[in-house]
Amino acid sequence: MDVLKYNSAAWDRNVERGIEWTLPVSADAIAAAKQGRLGVWLTDKTPVPSDWFEGIAGKDALCLSSGGGQQAPLLAAAGYDVTSYDNSERQLAQDRFVADREGLALRTARGDMADLSAFADASFDLVFHPISNLFAQSVLPVWREVYRVLRPGGVLMVGFVNPFEFIFDRERIERGEFVVRHTLPYSDIASLPQDELQRLMDEGGALEFGHTLTDQIGGQIDAGFVITGFYEDKRLSNAHNPNDPEFLLSKYTPVYIATRALKPS
């Protein structure tokens, strides 16, 4: 199965469905970012702390797998020279829509988050990577590539799903039952019976992979990064699906993690 191609089409469909990660930000949010009030999210409920950003003006930022007309235009409005790199052409179109609407300079390119060969070594000062690596089969090449394209002293900001979420039977959670079913690391392809996998694909859902914390955090450290910031976050309610498993789990514990990592000078 070509996971990259399948998930690209799935996210194009998500734009048509209007899920929350595909909705362009408002003109008011862009205006606030231009005035130094940068409200961007790596997770869902809690904005990135302002002290995670230093000396924005004129720095080069790569928004990695974060298309959708949200983070990339906001970072551009705040003063970054932004490139948005995403696997979904429709998500990139949302970034271009906001940039055109607000008169922002912003580049877009389509590709795999685990393959940044389109960019030279030491091209960026910031890589901003909100929750999306659950759509990659392995996160380890992502960390290696991000480390390569960052300049010394550059920063990686990333949000990801706490892998414990993937141990539960998602359909049972929707009925309010927390039943442990899967081992980690999780994979829709390997962990689901064929009939359930086929039903997921027939419904157009993107294929997901639950990576261990060893790969998520330890992988960054092994790539050469120094972790300089960390927080957990809960999920906002989902208007499209009030029984969304991630939201139901958030009643009891955070389901998201965000880290700030430094490439040493």
What domains appear along the chain, each with residue ranges and CATH number?
3-162+210-262 (3.40.50.150)
pLDDT of residue 112 exceeding 80: yes
Question: Do residues 95 and 67 lie in contact, with contact meaning Cβ atoms separated by under 8 Å?
Answer: yes
Per-residue pLDDT band for 241 (boundaries 50, 70, 90) equals: low
Per-residue pLDDT band for 242 (boundaries 50, 70, 90) equals: low
Average pLDDT of 193-203?
A: 95
Per-residue pLDDT band for 30 (boundaries 50, 70, 90) equals: very high
- For 84-101, how does the pLDDT look when each residue is reduced to its tens digit (9 = 90+)? 999 999 999 999 999 999
- Concatenate the DSSP letters of all residues of 70-91 into one string: SHHHHHHHHT-EEEEEES-HHH
In terms of pLDDT, which residue wins out, 141 or 177? 141
Q: Which H or E element spans position 158?
A: strand 150-161
Per-residue pLDDT band for 240 (boundaries 50, 70, 90) equals: low
Question: Do residues 209 and 134 lie in contact, with contact meaning Cβ atoms separated by under 8 Å?
Answer: yes
Which pairing describes strands 60-64 and 81-86: parallel, antiparallel, or unpaired? parallel
* Residue 17 phi, psi (nearest 5): -75, -20
The CA-to-CA distance between both ends of the chain, in Å, stands at 40
pLDDT of residue 28 exceeding 70: yes
- For 113-140, how does the pLDDT look when each residue is reduced to its tens digit (9 = 90+)? 999 999 999 999 999 999 999 999 999 9
Q: Which H or E element spans position 226?
A: strand 226-233
Average pLDDT of 244-265?
A: 88
Overall pTM > 0.85: yes
Of residues 145, 173, 144, 143, the one with CA closest to residue 158: 143
Per-residue pLDDT band for 238 (boundaries 50, 70, 90) equals: low
Please state, in angstroms and rounded to a whole number, the distance separating the CA atoms of residues 242 and 259: 28
- To 5 degrees, how large is the angle CA 3–CA 162–CA 174? 80
Helices (H) and strands (E) in the chain, counts: 11, 9
Please state, in angstroms and rounded to a whole number, the distance separating the CA atoms of residues 77 and 221: 31
pLDDT of residue 17 exceeding 80: yes
